[in-house]
Amino acid sequence: MLITTGENTVKLVYFALIGTLGLGLLSPLQVISAEKTILSATSDKATPSSNEGTVVSSMNAAAYTYMELESKGRRFWIAAPTTKVNVGDHISFVQSMVMRNFNSKTLNRTFESVIFVTSIKIGK
């Protein structure tokens, strides 16, 4: 949800920071600095330019299917509610939240970047 723009982004960032760190621990300048860091982190090379790609590999863990997608010569990971996908399937998705250095205890693996999505659409 942090990839939206405008007033909603600010509210979500404030909520995430206050909910995680506790009310009163952050000054307004710290919140603004954290917001800029979070928003700039979503625009690096690990984030795809479009919300689609072709499945290169996939694995299931707990309630999620992790998919490595390729789009325009770039590879990236998404995680969606458990779904059956095959290598070669074309996937489109609505981006929800990017997690950096995400550690999946179930898979015993750390992903440099994973985009968590609420749903996907599978094409061939």
- Shared domain for 81 and 35, answered yes or no, is no
Residue 107 lies in a domain: yes
Asked whether residue 67 is domain-assigned, the answer is: yes
Per-residue pLDDT reduced to its tens digit, 44-99: 455 555 799 999 999 999 899 999 999 999 999 999 999 999 999 999 998 789 99
Residues 34 and 80 both lie in one domain: no
- Domain region containing 21: 7-41
**Can you give the three-state secondary structure of 22-88, one letter per residue?**
CCCCCCHHHHHHHHHHHHHHCCCCCCCCCCEEEEEEEEEECCEEEEEEEECCEEEEEEEECCCCCCC
Inter-CA distances, 15 with 21, 77, 116, Å: 10, 26, 19
Judge residue 77's burial from the number of C-beta atoms within 10 Å of its C-beta, 0-12 exposed, 13-18 middle, 19 or more buried.
buried
pLDDT in tens, 12-55: 444 444 444 444 455 555 545 555 454 444 444 555 557 999 99
